[in-house]
Amino acid sequence: MRVAPGLTRPLVVRSTLVGDPGDLISRLPGTAPYAWIRRGEGLVAWGEAARVTVPPGPGRFEWARDRLSEIFDQAHVDDDVRAPGSGPVAFGSFTFDPDSPGSVLVVPRTILARRGGRAWLTTIGEELLDPVAPIRDPGRIRYGDGSLTAPEWEHAVAQAVRRIRSGRLAKVVLARDLTAVAERPIDVRLLLSRLAARFPECYAFSCAGLVGATPELLVRHTGETIESLVLAGTTARGTGTADDVARGAALFASEKDRQEHACAVESVRETLGPLCAELKVPEEPELLVLPNVQHLATPVTGRLTAGISVLDVVAAMHPTAAVGGTPTRTALEVIRELEGMDRAGYAGPVGWVDARGDGEWGIALRCAQISGSRARLFAGGGIMAGSDPAAELAEAQAKIRVMQYALEG
């Protein structure tokens, strides 16, 4: 655990109501911003009051929860707002693979938030509002292969299909990466602005260099209430209204996609059931239509037993079948065998948690890891017995175009 220099121990936190700040992303300074935005609401933050570097291995979520609780329990908090996301908040990103390093929780020094018609400012220590510099364009972008070329990845998909048909497992999610190099350093604020404008139904996020717009809400925790949105089964948008409707109908009727979605829903049901006094899971999925793709979606709601933090729910749910496979342990083994890469934060939990244990966490999809002028872009898809490698590659390319759009405009 590290506390930023110049700040007192314990942390001194103050949350006060403020006037409407307008576009939250436009208020961010240029260095290391944090964000969780949907439909113009959410939290943006900057600076660093404390950082928890989470060691890899089993029990990492519980370890992170306990270390964060030490920080929050010792803090002197003056909170006039008393809402989810007020008081001290930590933004977090966990790696997909529990054995991979890189999981982190950061308590920002300044947080600006808007939710339910109210806006507030949280500061830790002396209030220092960093100047907002103009957003920079990264210039020309050059792309290159990631860990596997397209033909190599198609071969990996074919191998996964053979393992599924042999009865080793029912489903596995395979991901691929691309590299991107810009002429100039990549300004995270530009990516967030483009993603939030183009994909308002998604959660635009930024944490420790991981930036994206995920459609998949892993869990929203408010008091004893939780919500989750299960996505599995995807098709591209059509060329026109009639084609769009036809594609959505075909997705709904697809045995492969419906089976993939059912695996993901059952995974969430089995995970959340023991944590909840009540759990509601619709019998039929609905269609979630985004600007680039359509998904089968099932919203899940429940009421938790008392005293459970959002990080406890995240620990229980990750990895879901939507990003790992079924059965989970076998799917993780196949992913390690075939992907040929470390996913890092891709498909891992990303979001925020406050001192009450409330928070919102998504699965880090449609994202990129940014470092200076370089980016690593990720996408993937669920592989079933009936999967076609060329079709799976086309689906992954459609998903990865989200971050290509964010980089290029």
The residues annotated as belonging to the active site are: 171, 216
Tokens found for residue 20: 């409407």
Q: Which of 315, 317, 343, 316 is nearest to 68 (CA)?
A: 315
* Beta carbons of 50 and 12 less than 8 angstroms apart: no
Residue whose entry in the numeric block shows the structure tokens 């992954």: 396
Coil vs helix vs strand at 11: coil
Amino acid code (one letter) for 135: I
Long-range contacts of 25-30 (CB under 8 A, 24+ apart): 25/189, 25/192, 25/193, 25/196, 25/204, 26/132, 26/193, 27/112, 27/132, 28/132, 28/189, 28/192, 29/130, 29/131, 29/132, 29/133, 30/132, 30/133, 30/135, 30/136, 30/187, 30/189
- The DSSP secondary structure of 108-149, one letter per residue, reads -SEEEEEETTEEEEEEESS------PPPPP---EEEEE-SS-
Residue 253's contacts (CB-CB under 8 Å, 6 or more residues apart) are none
Query: CA quadruple 105, 107, 111, 115: dihedral positive or negative?
Result: positive
Determine the Cα–Cα distance for residues 214 and 192; give it in Å rounded to an integer. Answer: 12
Determine the Cα–Cα distance for residues 110 and 122; give it in Å rounded to an integer. Answer: 6
